[in-house]
Structure 1
Amino acid sequence: MKTMTCRQLGGPCDLAHQGKDADEVIVAQDKHLKEVVKAGDEAHQQARQEMKYRWLHPKKSLGWYNAMKAAYAELPED
């Protein structure tokens, strides 16, 4: 397991997401963004829009995805 924060994934806060791989962490970030924006948190709105775009246009977002996978790979195990 490794940990990445919302901020490391492009968001505005330091909430920690844990996962056995980068994909789990990315899915946790997506869920976090959905929940806080739905609850009215405007600080996360831009990051939520960017995440929605990535899910809709995965080929165009491959650079971000590969960067997050590389960043995850460099992290120490928790």
Structure 2
Amino acid sequence: MKTMTCRQLGGPCELEHRGETADEVIKAQDRHLRDAERAGDAAHLPAREDMKGRWRHPKRSLGWYRDAKATFAALPES
């Protein structure tokens, strides 16, 4: 199990997301950003828009995805 923060994934806060894989952590971040948007949290809106764009255009977003996976891989197990 590894941990990445919202900030490490491009968001504005230090909420921790835990997962066995980078994909689990990325999906947790997506849920967090969606929930923040629904709650009216304006600080998270830019990150939410970025995430929506990555889901809509995955080929264009491979650089971000590869970077997130590399960062995850380099983290120690928690």
Q: What is the TM-score when the length of structure 1 is the normalising length?
A: 1.00
Specify every segment of 5 or more residues in structure 2 that has no aligned partner in the other structure, as ranges. none
Q: What is the TM-score when the length of structure 2 is the normalising length?
A: 1.00
Number of residue pairs matched? Answer: 78
Specify every segment of 5 or more residues in structure 1 that has no aligned partner in the other structure, as ranges. none
| Aligned residue in 2 for 1:64 | 64
Identical residues among aligned pairs (%): 65
Are 1:13 and 2:13 counterparts?
yes
Name the aligned partner's letter for residue 47 of structure 2: A
Are 1:44 and 2:44 counterparts?
yes
TM-superposition CA deviations, 1:12-56 (whole Å, max 9, x none): 000000000000000000000000111000000000000000000
| Aligned residue in 2 for 1:28 | 28
CA distance in 2, matches of 1:64, 1:18: 19
CA RMSD in angstroms comes to: 0.2
| Aligned residue in 1 for 2:3 | 3
Runs of 4+ in 1 over 3 A off after TM superposition: none
